[in-house]
Amino acid sequence: MTAIKAKHQRLILALIALAAILAAGALAAWALRSQASYFYLPADLKANPPEVGRAVRLGGMVKAGSVARAADGVTVQFVVDDGKAEVPVRFKGIVPDLFKEGSGVVAEGRLDAGGQFVADNLLAKHDEKYVPREMKDMTAARAAVRDTQ
Amino acid sequence: MIAEAGLAALWLAAALALLQFGSGVAALRGEGSPLAALVRPVAVVQGALALLAFAALLLVFAQTDLSVKLVALNSHSAKPMMYKIAGAWGNHEGSMLLWVTVMGLAGSFVALVERRLPERTMIATLLGQAFVSLGFYAFLLFASNPFERLNPVPPEGQGLNPLLQDPGLAFHPPTLYLGYVGLSIAFSFAVGALITREVGPAFARAMRPWVLGAWIFLTLGITAGSYWAYYELGWGGWWFWDPVENASLMPWLAATALLHSCSVLAARNALRAWTVMLGVVAFSMSMVGTFLVRSGILTSVHAFAVDPKRGTFILALLAIYIGGALTLFAFRAATVTEGERFAVTSRESALVFNNVMLTGTLGIVLMGTLYPLVTEAFGERVSVGPPYFNPMSAVFVVPMLLVLTVGPLLRWRRDQLARVRLPMLIAAGVALTGLAVAISLAPGKVLPIIGLALAPAVAVASLLPLRGRKLRQVKLPLWGMVIAHFGIAVALLGMAAEGAFTTERLVALRVGESTPVGPWQIRLARIEPVAGPNWTALEATLEASYAGAAPIVTHPQARMFWAPVQNTAESALLTRWNGQLYTVLGDKADGGANGGRWQLRLWWKPLVTLIWIGGALIALGGLLALLGRVASDLRRLVASDKIAFRRQRQGR
């Protein structure tokens, strides 16, 4: 090893570091393309559905009169609506406090083979100050839904 | 009056930062400028004034002075005193004031005690510190004045987000800020060293304690933050890869790499340019984190500001500081002279590997955090979560942990793997045994299995550097390394066990019914209303019995705060030596009908507490190393003073 000159060692180290960082970047870029979870409105989801089982997020209004609880007491079934299309959603868990009919919701989960959206997690408006990012843009959708009802 | 005094102190501090910067520049340009003597005292007074301003803010919050806008917006007279005071930094303006206060204090501390480096380098360092401070003073004074008055004075304040009303909040942000902003010292040292071109072992030895100090606080802050999210959010998870969590993890990864490259530079005078670069990167990551959290780009409980002006301001600061430092680096890096060489099998190589892997992990986390912002600019909204972060960071962390099992045993400069054959065999044996056990216990869960196999191997290997030494004579920095590495193994075991063995139950129970979860049998004994100082709650009484033992009572609550109006689930934890039972009370399951079933979410999480115990051990290791370094520096200082004194007496 002593045969390697100082200049060379420096160069080799710099190249190794560069290669590792480029590898990290390439790996991240590839993984992000396949793993990032995209945001859909019901109309997008109907028009251009993601593959079954792929993690996505669905945002819209909880349709009035659509919330139903299953007999086990912990599964809820409801419909997410953006004024143009409707998607049935099933969620097993404790719903957030501000989850109610006619207000906004973002469901994290996936489509199953039957066209139903299975949510692992629901995000509702937290309080007046903290609103999920996607929900801020949904005021327009909400107005549209209200007009139709 | 107090608010005005605070504001005046803040303006004065900003003016002094300008003076500190100006006299520093003058001192560096003209050799022997009288202004050189000004830099250190000004830095000290600047820090004191910032502290005064912060004290004024604490006071107005303690008194709930509602004529101050910030207090009216974020506090309430009925809040317990602890949360009144903690509320001072539970908002955008207050937290930025805390930021400049810590930065000012860190600068004063350096100005007071740091005497190991040539005075020119010190002046350049304090100049850098003043330059960074100035930007944040400007941000406070022009875009986020914490002392703004309100007219007319409202009759009552709007209160603090209930999620933030928790003892964890009182300590978590200040701890994290000490870490974030403490890294500004490393940044300033790097800038100072680049300006005067003095990068060498002395530079690394001077910088190391400051980096260690900041790193200890970061470690504690992240550990505490993780535990806070775990019990306060009621979701049962301990790390969500939330952008705000990533914002604290990224500086930690960079600082960890910096610590290790510092030790190469200090001991062997190699990795010079790289260490300086990491000094710049570490604080840059703190600033990127602040930008992400404070700009309002992200929405979370941490994102106080939704003012685009502020976001732009912070972005401009970011561009100036990071861009400026990197430009300086680009021009000066080539003139930083070549370090010592080392062989492929050597301690240096292992540490280079550690640095490259940490940097790779940092790249993965950074890209995952920024990706949603980039795609949103193109109109596509995505979120990035555990399916990306977990496997991708493991790609770099797993090889790093493998090398960690041998690295500390290698000699500096050149070594042979044959010399460490026995320890390697031991570590490999432990890892393979762990792998076999893990596969049989948790088949199919890839990452937890890797963790379960690696954790014992790293634990054993971390203790091996003590082999063949008299424990009494082992120096503190070595103890520090051993304990910190052991802490990594402990935390890893906790994470892997939580991932592999957690059992979860989601049920609706009538009062009097029971359900099993893991080895526990849980009975819902009753549901009663209770009241706190600023909330009311429904409280469940659960009787939990572990493997048939006598039941223990635990009380999850559903709380309703009235200022501001918000409901939160207050989880209840039962801790045993081998794990935690985590219970959350949900809604009424049947809307009043059907005899009243209540939703309960229950988890049994084996060994989960090891995650935070490991974090605390890592911080403890850092503390021991810091104590060891400071003690030996003090001894050296005393010795050199004695020599100087003797020389003086002998009239030389």
- Do residue A8 and residue A62 come from a single domain? no
The pLDDT of B275-293, averaged and rounded, is 88
Residue B359 near chain A (CB below 8 Å): yes
Least confident of A34-38, B360-364, B535-539: A34-38
Distance from CA of B382 to the nearest CA of A (A): 4
pLDDT attached to residue B304? 42
pLDDT attached to residue B88? 86
What residues of chain A lie within 8 A of the CB of B597, using their CB? 73
Residue A97 near chain B (CB below 8 Å): yes
pLDDT attached to residue B555? 93
CA B518/CA B527 separation, integer angstroms: 23
- Do residue A77 and residue A98 come from a single domain? yes
| Interface predicted TM-score (ipTM) | 0.81
pLDDT band for B183, please (50, 70, 90 cuts): very high
User: Which residue out of B371, B403, B511, B602 would a mutagenesis test of the A interface target, given it has the greatest number of A Cβ atoms within 10 Å?
Assistant: B371
- Do residue A129 and residue A68 come from a single domain? yes
The pLDDT of B117-134, averaged and rounded, is 90
* Chain mean pLDDT for chain B: 87
Distance from CA of A38 to the nearest CA of B (A): 4
The pLDDT of B356-384, averaged and rounded, is 86
Amino acid identity, position B207: M
- Do residue A82 and residue A112 come from a single domain? yes
- Do residue A77 and residue A132 come from a single domain? yes
The pLDDT of B138-144, averaged and rounded, is 89
- Do residue A56 and residue A70 come from a single domain? yes
Which of B388, B506, B590 has the CB atom closest to A35's CB atom? B388
Q: Which two tokens stand for residue B369?
A: 């955090």
What residues of chain B lie within 8 A of the CB of A38, using their CB? 380-382
User: Under CATH, which architecture does the B503-606 domain have?
Assistant: Sandwich (2.60)
Is B107 in a helix, a strand, or coil?
Answer: helix
- Do residue A135 and residue A117 come from a single domain? yes
pLDDT band for B358, please (50, 70, 90 cuts): very high
> Which residues on neighbouring strands pair with residue B601, listed in sequence order?
B506, B584
Residues 131-150 of B with CB under 8 A from A: none
Segments in chain A below pLDDT 50: 1-3, 127-130, 140-149
Task: Tell me: pLDDT of B117 over 50.
Answer: yes
pLDDT attached to residue B418? 84
Per the annotation, does A8 bind a ligand? no
CA B266/CA B201 separation, integer angstroms: 4
Query: In this complex, do A24 and B368 lie within 8 Å of one another by their Cβ atoms?
Result: no
Task: Tell me: pLDDT of B190 over 70.
Answer: yes
Which of B271, B367, B597 has the CB atom closest to A73's CB atom? B597
Q: Residue-wise over B524-546: b if at least 16 C-beta within 10 A, else e?
A: beeeeeeeeebbebbbbebbbeb
pTM for this predicted structure: 0.90
Task: Tell me: pLDDT of B594 over 70.
Answer: no
Q: Which residues contact B240 (CB under 8 A, 6 or more apart)?
A: B229, B385, B386
| Contact indicator for B593, A69 with CB cutoff of 8 Å | no
Q: Are strands A37-40 and A56-62 parallel, antiparallel or unpaired?
A: parallel
Residue B569 near chain A (CB below 8 Å): yes
- Do residue A66 and residue A50 come from a single domain? yes
A118-126 long-range contacts (CB < 8 A, ≥24 apart) are: A118/A89, A118/A90, A118/A91, A119/A58, A119/A89, A119/A90, A119/A91, A120/A93, A121/A93, A122/A91, A122/A93, A122/A95, A122/A96, A123/A96, A124/A95, A124/A96, A124/A97, A124/A98, A124/A99, A125/A98, A126/A96, A126/A98, A126/B301, A126/B566
pLDDT attached to residue A148? 42
Query: In this complex, do A35 and B387 lie within 8 Å of one another by their Cβ atoms?
Result: yes
pLDDT band for B503, please (50, 70, 90 cuts): very high
Which comes out higher in pLDDT, residue B14 or B81? B14
Query: In this complex, do B375 and A36 lie within 8 Å of one another by their Cβ atoms?
Result: yes
- Do residue A29 and residue A52 come from a single domain? no
Q: Which residues contact A98 (CB under 8 A, 6 or more apart)?
A: A124, A125, A126, A127
Residue A30 near chain B (CB below 8 Å): no
Q: Which residues contact B37 (CB under 8 A, 6 or more apart)?
A: none
* Closest among A51, A36, A141, A4 to B374, alpha carbons compared: A36
Instruction: Please tell me what DSSP assigns to residue B335.
Output: G
The pLDDT of B472-480, averaged and rounded, is 90
Packing angle, helices B272-294 and B347-377, rounded to 10: 30
Place of tokens 């501390």: B109
Within 13 Å, how many C-alpha atoms sit on residue B92's CB side?
22
pLDDT attached to residue B179? 92
What residues of chain A lie within 8 A of the CB of B388, using their CB? 31-32, 35-36
Per cent of chain A over pLDDT 70 is 79
Q: What CATH number does the domain containing A99 carry?
A: 2.40.50.140
Residue A13 near chain B (CB below 8 Å): yes
pLDDT attached to residue B278? 92
Task: Tell me: pLDDT of B438 over 50.
Answer: yes
Which of B339, B344, B586 has the CB atom closest to A94's CB atom? B586
A-B contacts (CB, under 8 Å): 134
Residue A139 CB-density burial (10 A; 0-12 exposed, 13-18 middle, 19+ buried):
exposed
- Do residue A48 and residue A109 come from a single domain? yes
Most confident range, picked from A32-41, B270-279, B390-399: B390-399
The number of domains in chain A is 2
Per the annotation, does A130 bind a ligand? yes
Residue B269 near chain A (CB below 8 Å): no
Q: Rounded to a whole number, what is the largest CA-CA distance in chain B? A: 98
pLDDT attached to residue B305? 43
- Do residue A1 and residue A50 come from a single domain? no
Considering only alpha carbons, which residue of chain B is nearest residue A26? B364
Query: In this complex, do B396 and A21 lie within 8 Å of one another by their Cβ atoms?
Result: no
The pLDDT of B52-60, averaged and rounded, is 94
pLDDT attached to residue B163? 64
What residues of chain A lie within 8 A of the CB of B375, using their CB? 36
Q: Which domain holds residue A75?
A: 38-148
Least confident of A57-71, A131-145, B438-452, B638-652: A131-145
CA B268/CA B262 separation, integer angstroms: 10
